[in-house]
C-alpha cells in the first residue's frame, strides 16, 4: 500500500511494540541524516511502507534517500524539523519526495512555547509542487488536528496521547478520525 492523494490520514506514532496486519501502513521514522541508501534498505526489508529523512541532512543524502525509496517502492518522507524554509530544500533536490513533514519537535514544543507549527507553509508547498503530500507533526490536541486539516494537510501525526495506551485510546482515535473525514 502507498498513500493516495486526495485522502486524509491520521498517523499515530508508536514507541512501543505493536501487532499489525498486512493492510497496515508502517512508517519507519528513522530520521536519516547520513547513509541514505543503507537505512532505506534496512527499513524496507523490515517491512516499512515509508521511511523518513531529515531535511537538514546533506542534499546528497536526501537525493540518495529518495532514489532508494523509489527503488524499494516505499514512500519517501522528508522531515522539515528546524528547517526555516522547506521550499529552499525542495528546490535543491533532483527528485521531489512523496511526502513533506512540517514538524515542531517535541523539545521545541516543551521548552519554547512561542514556536508555532508553520501551517502557512502547507499551501506554499502545495502551490509549487502539487504532487507532494503534506504531513503535520507536533500538535497533539483535537484543535490542532482540526487546524492542520483545515489548512489542507494530508496526514496529521499524533503521539503524546497514544504513548501510554489506556481505555481511552480507542475513543481518542475515533475522535481524531472524525476530524479528518
Does residue number 61 form part of the binding site for other proteins (CB under 8 A)?
yes
Of 30, 76, 121, 135, the one binding other proteins by CB under 8 A: 30
75, 63 Cβ separation under 8 angstroms: no
Query: Is 56 one of the binding residues for other proteins (CB under 8 A)?
Result: yes
Decide: is 67 part of the binding site for other proteins (CB under 8 A): no
36 counts as binding other proteins under rule CB under 8 A? yes
Where do the DSSP E strands lie in 2-86? 9-12, 27-32, 50-54, 75-79
Q: Distance (Å, rounded) from C-alpha 152 to C-alpha 154?
A: 6
Is the Cβ of residue 35 or residue 170 nearer to other proteins in the bound state? 35
Concatenated DSSP letters for 73-97? T-EEEEE-TT-S-HHHHHHH-SS--
Q: Which residue in this structure is represented by grid cell 514544543?
A: 109
Of the listed pieces 1-9, 110-118, 125-133, 165-173, which binds other proteins according to CB under 8 A? 110-118
Residues that bind other proteins (CB under 8 A): 30-31, 33-36, 38-39, 42, 54, 56-58, 60-61, 64, 81-82, 105-108, 110-112
Amino acid at each position: 500500500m502507498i498513500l493516495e492523494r486526495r485522502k486524509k490520514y491520521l498517523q499515530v506514532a508508536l514507541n512501543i511494540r505493536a501487532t499489525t496486519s498486512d493492510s497496515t501502513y508502517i512508517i519507519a521514522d528513522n530520521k536519516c541524516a547520513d547513509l541514505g541508501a543503507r537505512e532505506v534498505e534496512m527499513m524496507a526489508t523490515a517491512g516499512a511502507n515509508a521511511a523518513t529523512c531529515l531535511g537538514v541532512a546533506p542534499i546528497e543524502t536526501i537525493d540518495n534517500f529518495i532514489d532508494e525509496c523509489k527503488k524499494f517502492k516505499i514512500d519517501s518522507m522528508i522531515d522539515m524539523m528546524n528547517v526555516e524554509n522547506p521550499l529552499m530544500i525542495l528546490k535543491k533536490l533532483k527528485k521531489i519526495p512523496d511526502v513533506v513533514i512540517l514538524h515542531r519537535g517535541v523539545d521545541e514544543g516543551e521548552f519554547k512555547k512561542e514556536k508555532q507549527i508553520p501551517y502557512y507553509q502547507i499551501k506554499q508547498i502545495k502551490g509549487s509542487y502539487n504532487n507532494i503530500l503534506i504531513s503535520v507533526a507536533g500538535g497533539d490536541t483535537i484543535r490542532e488536528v482540526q487546524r492542520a486539516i483545515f489548512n489542507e494537510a494530508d496526514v496529521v501525526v499524533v503521539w503524546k496521547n497514544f504513548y501510554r495506551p489506556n481505555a481511552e485510546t480507542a475513543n481518542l482515535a475515533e475522535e481524531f478520525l472524525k476530524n479528518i473525514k
